[in-house]
Amino acid sequence: MVTNSLQIWRVRAGTLILWAAAGACLVFWALRLASPVEAAMVAVAAPGPVAVDLQALAQVLGAGPASPVAQTPAAPSRYTLQGLLAGRDSGRGAAVIAVNGQPARAFPVGAQVDEGLVLQSVGVQQAWLGPSRQGDATVTLELPIKK
């Protein structure tokens, strides 16, 4: 029997092409199944404004539990500013203030700190107190500088 060497190479080349196609299919499906499933794009609503828990903020900044404050005349030495949370764009914020050596409490801007004193505004290192929200500041409290 006489065999044609060209015919043998055609069979070998055809077999090689079939095995290469089978290997490519195997690699394609292995990569496809190994990759995470693409989730459908879902519209997410923008988060609403964040509510600040002032008592938790005071505890984080080192203040103790809230307690009633004795009513005495306002004097700048009675107040100790222990922490600030200033809103850059909103103009809002809160201050952690200790009155008469009592445990510090967190006061939002506009809250009554003591009899006749309201927290008017807060800055980066200062808090201003006055008789009303819009009036002139009568007491300016500054954060102590840590060394």
Task: For residue range 7-24, list pLDDT tens digits in order.
Answer: 888 999 999 999 999 999
Cβ atoms within 10 Å, residue 131 = 14
* 3-state secondary structure (DSSP) of residue 128: strand
Task: For residue range 80-134, list pLDDT tens digits in order.
Answer: 888 888 776 676 888 899 888 888 889 998 888 888 889 888 888 888 899 888 8
Under 8 Å between Cβ of 49 and 87: no
**CA-CA distance, 110 to 101, in Å (whole number)?**
22
**CA-CA distance, 61 to 67, in Å (whole number)?**
17
How far is the first Cα of the chain from the last one, in angstroms, to the nearest whole number?
102
By C-alpha distance, which of 79, 81, 84 is closest to 52?
84
- Domain limits of the chain? 54-142
pTM of the model: 0.48
